Structure 1
Amino acid sequence: METFDYVIVGGGTAACVLANRLTADGQYTVLMLEAGGEPKSMWIKIPAGFTKLLNDPVYNWRFSTEPEEGTKGRQIAIPRGKGLGGSTLINGMVFVRGQPEDYDQWALQGATGWSAADVEPYFRKFETYLPGDAGRGKTGPMHVSPIAERYPLMSAFLKAAEQEGHRQIEDYNGSDQSGFGYYQASQKNGQRWTVVDGYINPARHRKNLTIRTGASVQKLKLAANRCTGVVYRSAEGSFEVSAKREVVMAAGAVQTPQILELSGVGEPVLLQQYGIEVKHACPMVGENYIDHYATRMNWRVKNTQTLNELAQGWRLSAAVLQYFTQRKGILTLGTGLGHGFVKSRPDIPTPDVQYFFMHASYANAAIRKLDAFPGLTIGVAGLRPKSLGSIHIQSADSTKQPRIRPNFLAEQEDRDVLVSGMKIARRIVGQAAMSHYIDHEMSPGDVTQTDEQWLDFARENGQTIYHPTGTCRMGTDERSVVDPSLKFKGIDGLRVVDASVMPAMVSGNTQAAVVMVAEKGADLILMDAKKGE
């Protein structure tokens, strides 16, 4: 049986960070196990290529929710990256740190050592963001760039936001997120920049790092309240490996609780229902599931060209040529061109609504099929949802996806924030600066006026924006699964380092926060290793 100092379960965002940092000094041997393959598609490096990958089973686990009454009985897609690099291979590349207040709230909820002051150095550590002030990292492994493309429709939108009373802001990743402007993206020179680029490629040559793709972890090996290794399956068969120091779960907020439950760690009644021997009772595994839920409002526009036309026929051919010769143009765009962070009501201290502006509209948003006529879309999301769901196994078969019950819009506050956010978006588009371009509102349309109608539209049409978190919550109370050092409570030799440990949602897209968690998690692991020597 092979033995390593550390075994990392997963090969996504957090896992790649850990693999690099834990092997950096050459002292510890590390095995990383990823169920997917190496990132080989040509579409990965092309930012607009996410439309080709988002439904590709080679690069996406293609999870979906259980039908729920609160969202009109629909199954909602929960894309998760598959392959070395995880969701950084297929996401929209939008880079948001979140608000400092988010992390201060984590600390107040029991995640001691995770306040804004504690985590800010880790954001700076991993960033290379060349514009801006001294508060941003300049030499880190992850490149972040402001979106460079400019369009008349976006300029009009920013002016309209000012007319509605909002400011324009250059860097929403500073101390104050409030305002409107262009997004920042995980890109370098017009190309997607993944954690494979930033963390794995510089570390591949290290003799103390072993990476195995096509290796699906079936369960953890547990003995006398200690995790000693894992069992995984590949094309060659089933294998066991041992961890001298720790097994680190980094399979993400969907699959980390799934693997734990398949290993006999979770709610005893649930485990017994599927014939799984209970190794460690932990009812909160898979609970506290949080995700961002968003609506997409659409307008038909006039007097300008939008992505709908620019991505068709000869114009698309010209755009392809421009991209491959200059690394510019529409192929550098991801899911968001412009941002807005606003308060749903004036009496709250920080923004609780996020906007995603795109000079495009979709005949079928699920497969990113563009309309044949000019249009624009504004995505509207409540930033800090209070509705909590769950992710649990529904079979002892590891190939069967877990049951995902997000419980979207269960809390009145979430409903109120989303309705207010949509109303504000309509008011902005209704300002004089947009009048030259707006033909009419397509979705939800002018017929939608009352709060009940707005909410019905949200229930009928909303989607997740792919930010699952919280299913192995960090804290010090009885509802937490891991402690603030990310050690699994009650099981020695086991940690969780991924989005599942977040005790509450961050105010924005989650990739940056996951990298931060992994950077800090690696430091915590190495600090403990040094103490034991």
Structure 2
Amino acid sequence: MVPGNPNQQTTYRLLPTAPNLDTAASMSSPDILIVGAGSAGCTLAHLLHHQYGYSVTLIEPGAAENPEIVAATEIDHTRPARWLKLLGTSSDWNYATEASQSLAGRSLNCPRGRGVGGSSRINAMIWFSPTDDDFNMFSTAAADDRWSTASLRSAYQAAERLVQPESARWISEPAERFLQAATPFGTPVAYRRMNRNGRRWSPAALIADSSGVQTIRASVDRILFRDDQAVGVKLTNGDEIAAGKRVILSAGSIASPAILMRSGIGPRDLLRDAGAQAWLDAAEVGQHLQDHLVMPVVFSTSAAARFDLNVSPRDLVRFDALGRGPLASNIAEAGGLFASDTLQIHVTPTHYLRFPQPGAPAAMTIAVNPTKPKSRGQLAIRSLDASEPPRIDLRYLTDPADVETTIAGVKLARSIAAQSPLQNWIGPEMVPGAKRDSDQTIAKSISRYAQTLYHPVGTCGLGRVVDADLSVIGTRRLSIVDASVFPEMTVGNPNAMVITLATWFANQLAGAC
């Protein structure tokens, strides 16, 4: 039985031995050891040190170490419009999903940020406020008064003050026209962004030049325990680092469960298949993996409306001086929730499937996704080798309801495109193509063209793997704070909720340590 949730059944069986910390116990250790320097890890490190006075060590693998590579990608890390150029680089772990019959046999890229800042280094910077349904989801899963919607909303407000999201400083003509055309169907918005003065910003800035937060550039092999108490970590190079008070996993929905499994915590049979021995038989680790799957509906536009990363000298000066103009675009400029919050739309001034490839045609995309997908996948390690990517089986569209909702989204996108001022401005529908107008042909197009929105969550869910303290059930002094603890997918983009969780947890931990 999961503590704090009498309705949730799971299996947690303590097996004979946990790996013990040996040499690191005598080392000078920080109060808090955080594994992963993404949105959650950087926020936690900042708050725990600067607000609550703890000594903190962050562990995060480096991205590009070659100075020439760093210099070549610097503009991509600062100019919002170039974020897609970061995918597939040394700032990306370059994961891929398992091939799926529901996606016409395709395997999708599964970008995850590498280096301080984590996935906020390479994302579209959308700041999407959690909804009341999101807060209620966490409250229900925790079954604890500390997780009230009022408490979470207060944590969100504090997170927003920390991030200072910025209103769009420039949006394209396709986005402007969409905002008018979509009004009869909902409340479209130009997305706020994690930018400062028009330039991309990530929580990595919160720990820059912080003497009280040490950052170690390394990969973690596993958590080290004394009995069931987490006391440190072992790095892939063999070094061990101790923690004075607590180890926190903030490595994300892919890496956090993988580290748990390499540490002997996970489904016993899956670990055995990977050559690992479970000392804590935790059946839910790696389960309930979810993601937002988006279907692009692409329309041609005139050549004059083409969005191009090769901007004019005037626009370059405009961005450098004011943080405005096309380079301030985050590509996914506008959208919002529609159809009673069952659908989210993202609008880009590009061909969603081909930009920023050379020769991408002039186009705009109205991309649609179910906000609360019902399909569930699974993550598992292949071996004890930390350098081997885990098996990421998202099982997209395996629940028929997700297909039905996405079909409804395609029809909604077409209805919006038929409204003024879009109707007479766009050209023919390129994807999936107007001739694909039956539910059956739209469903086939979805299986062929749908893409990840880079939002994996749920592999260490609240009430399943972690309790209301965000402590790993069956252990002591080991917590998880990242998107892996989401009970289900948030309605919209999850990054704001991740930072909200980190803010909430820092306050709770300060009162408990």
% same residue: 28
Taking the aligned partners of 2:122 and 2:284, their CA distance within structure 1 comes to 30
Decide whether the 8 Å contact of 2:64 with 2:91 is kept in 1.
no
Decide whether the 8 Å contact of 2:80 with 2:327 is kept in 1.
yes
One-letter code aligned to 1:63? Y
Of 267-276 and 384-393, the range deviating more from structure 2 = 267-276
Aligned to 1:279: 279
Query: Is 1:327 equivalent to 2:323 in the alignment?
Result: yes
Please point out which of 418, 422, 430 is paired with 1:434. Answer: 422
Deviations for 1:455-490, whole angstroms, at most 9, x for unmatched residues?
111111111100011100002xxxx00001101111
**What are the residue-to-residue correspondences of 1:227-376 with 2, within 5 Å?**
227-233=230-236, 237-302=237-302, 305-308=304-307, 310-312=308-310, 315-343=311-339, 350-362=340-352, 364-365=354-355, 368-369=356-357, 371-376=359-364
**What are the residue-to-residue correspondences of 1:498-509 with 2, within 5 Å?**
498-509=482-493
* Corresponding residue SS for 2:256: helix
Of 91-100 and 370-379, the range deviating more from structure 2 = 370-379
Aligned to 2:199: 191
- Please state how far the C-alpha of 1:212 moved relative to its aligned partner: 0.8
Aligned to 1:171: none
Taking the aligned partners of 1:370 and 1:182, their CA distance within structure 2 comes to 27
Taking the aligned partners of 2:196 and 2:354, their CA distance within structure 1 comes to 30
RMSD: 1.9
Closer, same or farther in 2 for the Cα pair 1:429/1:489, shift >3 Å?
Answer: same
Decide whether the 8 Å contact of 2:342 with 2:372 is kept in 1.
yes
Aligned residues: 479
* Corresponding residue SS for 1:108: helix
- Please state how far the C-alpha of 1:389 moved relative to its aligned partner: 0.6
Please point out which of 475, 481, 491 is paired with 1:497. Answer: 481
TM-score normalised according to structure 2 size: 0.89
Gaps of 5+ in 1: 128-139, 168-178, 344-349
- Please state how far the C-alpha of 1:52 moved relative to its aligned partner: 2.0
* Corresponding residue SS for 2:34: strand
Please point out which of 413, 421, 437 is paired with 2:409. Answer: 421
Taking the aligned partners of 1:19 and 1:5, their CA distance within structure 2 comes to 11
Gaps of 5+ in 2: 1-23
Please point out which of 197, 215, 225 is paired with 1:211. Answer: 215
Aligned to 1:175: none
Taking the aligned partners of 1:416 and 1:114, their CA distance within structure 2 comes to 33
One-letter code aligned to 1:200? I
One-letter code aligned to 1:195? P
Query: Is 1:99 equivalent to 2:107 in the alignment?
Result: no
Please point out which of 156, 160, 165 is paired with 1:144. Answer: 165
One-letter code aligned to 1:70? S
Aligned to 1:123: 156
Closer, same or farther in 2 for the Cα pair 1:146/1:399, shift >3 Å?
Answer: same
Closer, same or farther in 2 for the Cα pair 1:372/1:267, shift >3 Å?
Answer: closer
Decide whether the 8 Å contact of 1:111 with 1:474 is kept in 2.
no
* Corresponding residue SS for 1:454: helix
Aligned to 2:120: 88
- Please state how far the C-alpha of 1:491 moved relative to its aligned partner: 0.4
Decide whether the 8 Å contact of 1:295 with 1:458 is kept in 2.
yes
- Please state how far the C-alpha of 1:372 moved relative to its aligned partner: 4.9
TM-score normalised according to structure 1 size: 0.86
Closer, same or farther in 2 for the Cα pair 1:107/1:454, shift >3 Å?
Answer: same
- Please state how far the C-alpha of 1:421 moved relative to its aligned partner: 0.8
- Please state how far the C-alpha of 1:364 moved relative to its aligned partner: 2.2
Taking the aligned partners of 2:378 and 2:284, their CA distance within structure 1 comes to 9
**What are the residue-to-residue correspondences of 1:435-514 with 2, within 5 Å?**
435-475=423-463, 480-514=464-498
Taking the aligned partners of 1:360 and 1:465, their CA distance within structure 2 comes to 16
* Corresponding residue SS for 1:297: strand
Taking the aligned partners of 1:375 and 1:474, their CA distance within structure 2 comes to 41
Query: Is 1:160 equivalent to 2:181 in the alignment?
Result: yes
- Please state how far the C-alpha of 1:371 moved relative to its aligned partner: 4.8
Aligned to 1:74: 106
Deviations for 1:24-46, whole angstroms, at most 9, x for unmatched residues?
25743221111124895422121
* Corresponding residue SS for 1:221: strand
- Please state how far the C-alpha of 1:227 moved relative to its aligned partner: 1.2
Decide whether the 8 Å contact of 1:7 with 1:31 is kept in 2.
yes
Decide whether the 8 Å contact of 1:34 with 1:84 is kept in 2.
yes
Taking the aligned partners of 1:364 and 1:275, their CA distance within structure 2 comes to 41
